[in-house]
Amino acid sequence: MGYVSSKTPGRRVRSFLKYLYVSVLYRSGLLALARSRVRRRSQVAVLTLHRVLPDEEFARTSSLPGMIMRAKTFTALCEHLRSHYEVVLAERLGRISEQSLRPRVSVTFDDGWADTATVAAPIAEAHGVPFLVFVCPGLMGRRFPFWPERAAYAFSAEARRSRSEVRTFVENLKSMAPGDREGALRSFRPVPIEEMENAEPLNASFPREEMPRLIARGGSVGSHTCNHRILTQVTAEDARWELQESRDRLERELQRPCDTFAYPNGNHSDVIRTAVANVGYRLAFTTVLGLWSDATDPLLIPRINITESHVTNPLGKFSPAMFEYYVFWRARRATAKQTTTDHSGGRDS
C-alpha cells in the first residue's frame, strides 16, 4: 500500500507561513506571556497522543496524520518537557494543591497501541516523563485492532490515494451509524489480514502482559471502553456495559482501582456523562481543546491533541515555538472562549 503525496506546493507554502507567524509570536514574547499566565492560574495542559512510530512505519502507516508522531520527535518533546515544565500524571488532576514554579503539563495516550508500550514508553521512561494510557481491554493483543486503519488500508489498496482523501473517507465513515458503516466497508475488496500485518507490523494493540511493564516504566492505565465503541452511537444499555466491563476487566488485571476514562473519539453527551459518573469514574477526558483548572468539570476534561505537524518546523525538526503555540496559545484562547460562553449562558457542545 502507498499514498500519493499530499504535500502540494500550496500546502508547503501554508506550512511555512504558519511557522513564520508562530515564530513572530515566539520571538515577541507573546507565547512566553501565554505560558506564564497558564502557570499563574495553576492550569494544566493535558496532551493527547496516540501513536509514536519509527520513520519506516511512520511513512507507511494507515493511521491518519492526526494520530502519529515520529519517535525522534517524541524524544525531543520529552527532553523539552523535562527541561522546561513540571510533568504530572493526569490521574492526579484535582489532587495538586501547591503552586508550581513551572507550567504544568500532563501526557496521555489513547487506544493502547503496541508502539505506546514498545516505542513511546522506553523514551518517556528515559526522560522521566510519566504518562496515562487509556486502553480497550476487549481489543488487547489484536492486529489492526481499530476499524479506521482497516478502512484506510482497504480504501488505499483499491487505488493510490492522498492522505487528505483517506482522512476525508474515514471521517465520513465515523459520522455514519455503525450498521451503515459496516455496509460501506463491505463494498471494498477484502484485504487479507496477513497482508496488512506484513505491511504494518506495529499496527496492533499491546497485550495484557505489557500493562504491568508500562506501569513499572512510570505509566498508568485508564479505561477507553471495552471495545472502542463510540458511546453516542450505541444504546444506553450498551454504553453502560462498555463502561462497566472495561473498568471491571482492568481492575482485575491490574489489581488496583481504575477510575480514569477517555471518551472514544471524544464523543460524549449529558446522558453519556451521567453513565460515566454512575459507573464510578472519577476523571473523564474529552478531545475538546482547552486547559484543565480547578473549575473544570472532572468528567469533561479538555485536552490538546499533539501530532508530528503540531510540534515540528517546516524542515521536520522539533520546534519549541510550535509546541508552545499549540499547547499554550491556542488552548488558552479556546479555554477563555469557553469560559466566556459558559458565563453568558451558552450551552456546551
62-100 pLDDT, tens digit each: 999 999 999 999 999 999 999 999 999 999 998 877 788
Residue pair 285/301 in contact (Cβ under 8 Å)? The answer is yes
Cα separation, 193 vs 82, whole angstroms:
40
Q: What is the pLDDT of residue 196?
A: 85
H/E stretch holding 273 reads: helix 270-279
Q: Between the CA atoms of 172, 175, 179 and 180, what dihedral angle is there, to the nearest 10 degrees?
A: -40
Cα separation, 310 vs 241, whole angstroms:
36
Are residues 191 and 138 part of one domain? Answer: no
Are residues 238 and 125 part of one domain? Answer: yes
Q: What is the pLDDT of residue 217?
A: 81
- What's the domain count of the chain? 2
Are residues 157 and 40 part of one domain? Answer: no
Q: What is the pLDDT of residue 185?
A: 81
Is the confidence at residue 5, as pLDDT, over 90? no
Predicted TM-score (pTM) of the model is 0.91
pLDDT digit string, tens, across residues 317-329: 999 999 999 999 9
Are residues 268 and 130 part of one domain? Answer: yes
Task: Please check whether residue 101 lies inside any domain of the structure.
Answer: yes
Task: Please check whether residue 5 lies inside any domain of the structure.
Answer: no
Are residues 245 and 117 part of one domain? Answer: yes
Task: Please check whether residue 330 lies inside any domain of the structure.
Answer: yes
Task: Please check whether residue 2 lies inside any domain of the structure.
Answer: no
- The residue segments making up the domain with residue 130 are 10-143+206-343
Are residues 108 and 28 part of one domain? Answer: yes
Task: Please check whether residue 4 lies inside any domain of the structure.
Answer: no
